[in-house]
Amino acid sequence: MKLLLFGYGNIDRQDDGVAWHILRGVAEHYHFVLPTVPEETNNNITLDITVTFALQLTPESSEWVSQFDQVVFIDAHTGAIEEPLHIEDLDANFQTSPFTHHLTPQTCLALADSLYGKTPKARLISVRGYEFGFAQSLSEQTGELARQAVGVITAIIDQTGD
């Protein structure tokens, strides 16, 4: 089963970049080292697991997503979601947004289905951010949640047989 770990956010805005820190932790768990800052490449950390990071989801992301059997989207949230570490199974569902630059994982899946005829099994792992200043380090609270998220993701991977 081909798995994509798709993190997104702004690594220069502290906790908004938590997904990159989580991806690095997962890669290290599998003895693969990702760069300190993301590059515009996708990394295969095992034969069946690919990680990628972007500033945000775009309609073009749907083509990449359609090439996998399973996708785990990883992002930060600001507290609108009750749980500090939120895990949610996702369905393809077009969602409108008041922001022209905002694409939800559900909409990305819907585009993958509409344009490419493929909707991978998908999950969202959203981590609470507490500080959004101009730095690449995480707040202490979000750093702890990131470590927990790495454990959740590696457990998901282990359940799929990788």
Per-residue pLDDT band at 97 (split at 50, 70, 90): low
Summarised one tens digit per residue, pLDDT across range 45-88 is 988 999 999 999 999 999 999 999 999 999 999 988 899 999 99
pTM of the prediction? Answer: 0.94
> How far is it, in rounded angstroms, from Cα 15 to Cα 9?
9
Q: What is the CA radius of gyration of the chain?
A: 15
Indicate the SS3 state at residue 126: strand
Of residues 158, 98, 159, 92, the one with CA closest to residue 119: 92
Strands 43-44 and 49-54: antiparallel
Please name each of the domains of the chain with its CATH number: 3-159 (3.40.50.1450)
> How far is it, in rounded angstroms, from Cα 61 to Cα 158?
26
> How far is it, in rounded angstroms, from Cα 107 to Cα 69?
17
Of residues 58, 56, 54, 53, the one with CA closest to residue 43: 53
